[in-house]
Chains A and B, each alone.
Chain A
Amino acid sequence: MFKSFDDLEREIDETFEELMSSRPMWDSSTGRLEPLTQVIESLDKIVVTMDLPLVRKEDIHLTIEEKYLNLEAPLARCVKYERWGAHSDCEFSSFYKTVNLPTRVNPDEAKAKFLNGVLSVELHKTVKGKKINVE
């Protein structure tokens, strides 16, 4: 059986996500941390939430494309890890994350709110399910 292009694209995205999830959630060379993220998909919507402690609402830089959500947010204060592993002191100053969305969305209809340090972004799917009559 042939897979549709969308199915293949989704499988590639999932494999990519799996590979990405096995790497560290930080990069000391850029001082960036990766936030914990959840993606919940329903019939016509995708809701992406991110835990963003030490971030102020006005500092959140969020961009949305059809298939991606990109977040960059500086921390209100740097986070230091002292005496950790083989690293000397590590210092982090921002969160950064690109989320591959499971399906295409309309960036113009996106809504975001930030409450108690958790960002929630509601995205509307471009291709919605077709309503059919039940006989």
Chain B
Amino acid sequence: MSEEMRIIETKPLDSVKHCLVGMPDTGLTGMIAVSQIVESMKLPEIGHIESDLLPPVMVIHDGEPKVPIRFFGDSNLTVLTSETPIGTRAIAPLSRSLTAWAVKKKVEMLVSVSGIAVQNRMEIKIPQVFGVATNEKGKNRLKEAEIQVLEEGFMVGPHAMIVRESLSKGLTNLVILAQSHSGYPDPGAAASAINAVNKLLNLEVDVKKLLEDAEGIRVKTRELMQRTTKSLEGMAKTQEQELPAMYG
């Protein structure tokens, strides 16, 4: 495991069946989606990630200081999320540590949730969801869950590095990408992503409350979105919206 990133398990688990990851990224889609899943399933906090490469930030909840990148869940489903954007320097070490941890915990499926920016998002009522898988097993799961495979494009950010590390370690990693605003928090995209995750992992997370609270969430996540947008600027994130060079 990378020495630069330390996964601290406050409630250690012998094995984990499924692991879900949602970091601040395009439209905060992944972070909003997995936070909703944690809240809805009342998943307990079971650990966190420490590193000198992460911003010197602690968050305080109910008077208790917390590390911003935390694990929630149990041996059936573990969720990793962050309350602060992951800077460029931390992404590769974080992905290495997370995938090494997933191999050690015999994770059957590592699922990253994120958004994929579309220019006409304000005209789309129900965002479509696309999937990327690192192996045949993952592709079959996408097919069974009726999630359309992303045929061409770029991925930039934490989920892209997790794919790279999963490929090298032979880990089944799926990326769920919901059509999203690029620079505005998008609970609607998060709801579409949750519906896809429900099918993929046989969960029953209701998105009704998320959609009812959508406008309040958009107001209260403006600053995190702004900070995330700045963080993504250093990662050539706009490449995701470029037309691919069709020479492959």
Is the pair A118, B122 in contact by a Cβ cutoff of 8 Å? Answer: yes
* Binary contact track B214-233/A, C-beta < 8 Å → 1, others 0: 11101110110110001000
Q: How far is the CB of B174 from chain A (nearest CB, A)?
A: 28
Residue of chain A at shortest CB distance from B230: A21
Which one of A36, A79, A118, A120 lies within 8 Å of B226 (CB-CB)? A36
Is the pair A51, B215 in contact by a Cβ cutoff of 8 Å? Answer: no
With an 8 Å Cβ cutoff, the count of chain A residues facing the other chain is: 21
Which one of A49, A79, A118 lies within 8 Å of B220 (CB-CB)? A79
Is the pair B226, A53 in contact by a Cβ cutoff of 8 Å? Answer: no
Is the pair A117, B218 in contact by a Cβ cutoff of 8 Å? Answer: yes
Which one of A21, A53, A81 lies within 8 Å of B218 (CB-CB)? A53
Which one of A21, A24, A25, A115 lies within 8 Å of B122 (CB-CB)? A115
Helix, strand, loop or mixed for chain B's interface?
helix
The answer to whether A53 and B122 touch (CB under 8 A), given A36-B222, A36-B225, is: no
Is the pair A51, B123 in contact by a Cβ cutoff of 8 Å? Answer: no
| B171-189 residues at the A interface, CB under 8 angstroms | 181-185, 188
The answer to whether A51 and B185 touch (CB under 8 A), given A25-B226, A36-B226, A120-B122, is: yes
| A7-51 residues at the B interface, CB under 8 angstroms | 21, 24-25, 33-36, 38, 49, 51
| Residues of A that sit less than 8 Å from B by CB | 21, 24-25, 33-36, 38, 49, 51, 53-54, 75, 79, 81, 92, 115-118, 120
